[in-house]
Copies of this chain bind each other. A is one copy, B any other.
Amino acid sequence: MDTREIATEFTRLCKAGQFDEAGHRFWSDKVVSTEAMDGPMSRCEGLKEVQAKGQWWNDNHEVHSFKTEGPFVNGDQFALRFEIDVTPKVGERAGQRTQMAEVGVYTVRDGKIVEERFFY
């Protein structure tokens, strides 16, 4: 599969809400995931850490809706835009329902996602 094919299938799974399956199929064992914030999860390295971040996020947010737009492709990278309506269960913003948009940029190598960066 080339980058556009991977992007299309990854996006299809995200649009269906199957984020775990998308990661399971396409994350490299050595995937690096970066968030645009400070803290322990600003950079996660390796499949276990990245999966743990996803699990933490799922456990600590009530998701009212999650829309995925894309994919947008360039070379070995693709971008997705997310529209998220969510209430955090913990932290400073606990209980505050928030609507936000963000962009994820994914880098593909040898058929797997080796890096994802989230922009907001």
Seen from chain A, the residues whose Cβ lies within 8 Å of a Cβ on chain B are 34-36, 69-70, 72-75, 77-79, 81, 101-103, 105, 117-120
A117 / chain B contacts, CB cutoff of 8 Å: 74-75, 77
Cα–Cα, bound, A90→B78 (Å):
28
B81-A103 in contact (CB<8A):
yes
Q: Identify A72's interface contact among B34, B78, B102, CB under 8 A.
A: B102
B101-A36 in contact (CB<8A):
no
From DSSP, what is the main secondary structure of chain A's interface residues? strand
A105 / chain B contacts, CB cutoff of 8 Å: 77, 79, 105
Cα–Cα, bound, A81→B103 (Å):
9
CB distance from A22 to the nearest CB of B (A): 18
CB distance from A104 to the nearest CB of B (A): 9
Closest Cβ neighbor of A78 among chain B residues:
B119
Which of A74, A78, A81: most chain B Cβ within 10 A? A74
A119 / chain B contacts, CB cutoff of 8 Å: 72-74, 77-79
Closest Cβ neighbor of A69 among chain B residues:
B101
A34 / chain B contacts, CB cutoff of 8 Å: 74-75
